Structure 1
Amino acid sequence: MIKEVIVVEGRDDITAVKRAVDAEIIAVGGFGINAKVIERIKEAQKRQGVIVLTDPDHAGEKIRRIIAKRVLGIKHAYITQKEGTKDDDIGVENASPETILRALECAKCEVKEKRNEFNIKDLIFFKLTGDNKAKERREAVGRELGIGYCNSTQFITRLNNYGITREEFVEALKRVEL
């Protein structure tokens, strides 16, 4: 059983997560997220902690940002678009139990103080931007670090906000070797 309460978008996501782990789950109802749901998430955060696991698409990121803005100290779990895609449909509900479990185990909490450990020069040096395989590399390293796939700017933000150390970053790069 996972200690934290897992927050997902909808009913099908609940089913997928329950196939992977025994946990308390809150579904926000997509963009139907309202004050009542936010209060439930705040209460869960106070009592047990919260892990947000939304779809790896624009809507999922928007829902994640809404929750993160209103509930402090939550953890973020990510699956890749490839892991969440089935028949051109992207969502947590399409991910395997192993993928969901890995994402939850790698969940990261945002750090409060502003960090500037990583910058665009790091991404250029490690060919995570400005290279024809940069997108693949970012996706692989993001998966390895548990911070998900995103564009270069967001990747730097996540590296800094989730407190990723330079050592963790370099080890993840070595493991993916693209």
Structure 2
Amino acid sequence: MIKEVLVVEGKMDVVAINKAVEADCIITEGFNLSPRCLDDIEKAYKKRGIIILTDPDSAGERIRKYVSRRFPKAKHAFVPVKDATANNDIGIEQASPDAIRKALEKVRTLDWEPGNNFTGADLIRAGISGGAAASEKRARLGARLGIGYANAKTFLNRLNHYGVSREEFETALAEEDKANELKS
């Protein structure tokens, strides 16, 4: 049983999570976030802690940002887009139990006093910004680091806000480059 309560968007997300792990969930019903829902999240946050596990799409990201601002010590889990896509739909409900477990193994906490460990130049050098295949490589690297897919600006923000160390980044980058070499 996961100690923290998972904050998800819909009922079908709970069904998918229950196939993967034993956890209590609070459903936001999309961006609805009624006063009762926010009260439930606050109670869980204060008593057990929360993990935000929203869909890897723009709506899920808006919900994540909103909940993060209200509950700054919330933890975050990200299912990669490729693992949350099926039947022309993106969402946690589309993710396999294994993908959900992997996301929950890489939970991160947002640091409201971020470091400046990474710059845009680091992204360019790593080939995850400014290049033809940068978006795809960034998605794979985000999955390895447990910070999810994002555009270059948001990815840089996550690197600096979610406590990713230089060593973690370099290791994940080396693993990604090695995996690409093996494909060639």
TM band (smaller chain): over 0.9
Counterpart of 2:146?
A: 146
Deviation at 1:112, TM superposition (A): 2.4
Cα pair 2:8 2:53 within 8 Å, conserved:
yes
Count of paired positions: 178
Identity within the alignment, %: 44
Counterpart of 2:37?
A: 37
1:124 aligns with 2:124: yes
CA distance in 1, matches of 2:69, 2:44: 16
Pairing of 1:1-178 with structure 2 (within 5 A): 1-177=1-177, 178=180
SS at match of 2:164: coil
Cα pair 1:54 1:92 within 8 Å, conserved:
yes
Cα pair 1:2 1:23 within 8 Å, conserved:
yes
Counterpart residue type for residue 61 of structure 2: E
SS at match of 1:31: coil
TM-score norm. by structure 1 comes to 0.97
TM-score norm. by structure 2 comes to 0.94
Of 4-13 and 72-81, deviating more is 72-81
The 4+ residue runs of structure 1 with deviation greater than 6 A are none
Of 43-52 and 164-173, deviating more is 43-52
What is the alpha-carbon root mean square deviation over aligned residues? 0.9
Cα pair 1:38 1:71 within 8 Å, conserved:
no
Listed as ranges, the gaps of 5+ residues in structure 2 are none
Cα pair 1:76 1:107 within 8 Å, conserved:
yes
CA distance in 2, matches of 1:83, 1:76: 17
Deviation at 1:98, TM superposition (A): 0.3
Residues 87-113 of structure 1, C-alpha deviations (whole Å, 9 max, x = no match): 111110000000001101101001121
SS at match of 1:83: helix
Counterpart residue type for residue 142 of structure 2: G
SS at match of 2:61: helix
